[in-house]
Amino acid sequence: MHVNDRTRIYEASLEGFASYIAATPQVNLDNVRRYAQLIRKQFPYIYMMELSQRVTPAERTGLVRRMRTAGYADFEIHTFGYESDRKVHSVAESEVYYPVVFIEPEVPEVMDELGIDLLSTSATLEQTVRRSLMAGRQIASRPFKTVDGVLVYLIFQPVAAVRSYEQRADVLNDPYSVLMVVNAKTLLPSWVRQREG
């Protein structure tokens, strides 16, 4: 498959994910998981699907409580030292947070992704999120290494970007954004991947 074809598949899959979230009056993470699993089953080279929620300081405690009640006992909004020590750190006070509130697949190696504040974790993620929110469309990040050390890039899209103009809330105030994490190796031709082992 050609790189451009695969990139279009990633973009269309993320657009579908955003449309699903936009059409859901109450976001149910079990249903979101089933949808994300279907996308990843159809396109197994998608490394991860994620959902981020815009949270103000006043909403932070409620989100933490809901996530812990949902079974994530240690959930906290935090940062990760992608560009430094590669460890979880407390997040500084901020006017707004964009924590990851859903990941698929949910495997032990990546559980530190849950709760990462995309605006304060790394310059790469912050720039991608801010550019996407301002443009109101999908934006891809520069490559970076995930919590488990895989070289990836991320595509971020505000859910408000798929709403009709009449329904569309201000993009900066819409609570949800969808993310797709793509293993950078999947963009290499198969003969290069085979040579690398």
Assigned CATH topology for domain 3-196: Beta-Lactamase (3.30.450)
Asked whether the predicted pLDDT for residue 12 surpasses 60, the reply is yes
Residue 86: how many CB atoms within 10 A of its CB? 12
- Is the bond leading into 105 cis (omega within 30 degrees of zero)? yes
pTM: 0.86
The per-residue pLDDT for range 162-196, each reduced to its tens digit, is: 654 444 444 444 589 999 999 888 776 554 444 44
- Residue 183 has, within 13 A of its CA and on its CB side, a CA count of 14
Q: Is 13 in contact with 144 (CB distance < 8 Å)? A: no
Mean pLDDT of the 30-55 span: 93
Q: Is 68 in contact with 115 (CB distance < 8 Å)? A: no
Q: Is 3 in contact with 187 (CB distance < 8 Å)? A: yes
> Residue 184 has what pLDDT?
86
The per-residue pLDDT for range 95-126, each reduced to its tens digit, is: 999 999 999 999 998 899 999 999 999 999 99
SS (HEC) of 82-149: CCCCCCEEECCCCCCECEEEEEECCCHHHHHHCCEECCCCCHHHHHHHHHHHHHCCCEECCCEECCCC
Structure tokens at 167: 């329904």
Phi-psi region of 103 (alpha: psi -120 to 50; beta: other; left: phi over 0): beta
Task: Report domain extents, the chain.
Answer: 3-196
> Residue 172 has what pLDDT?
40
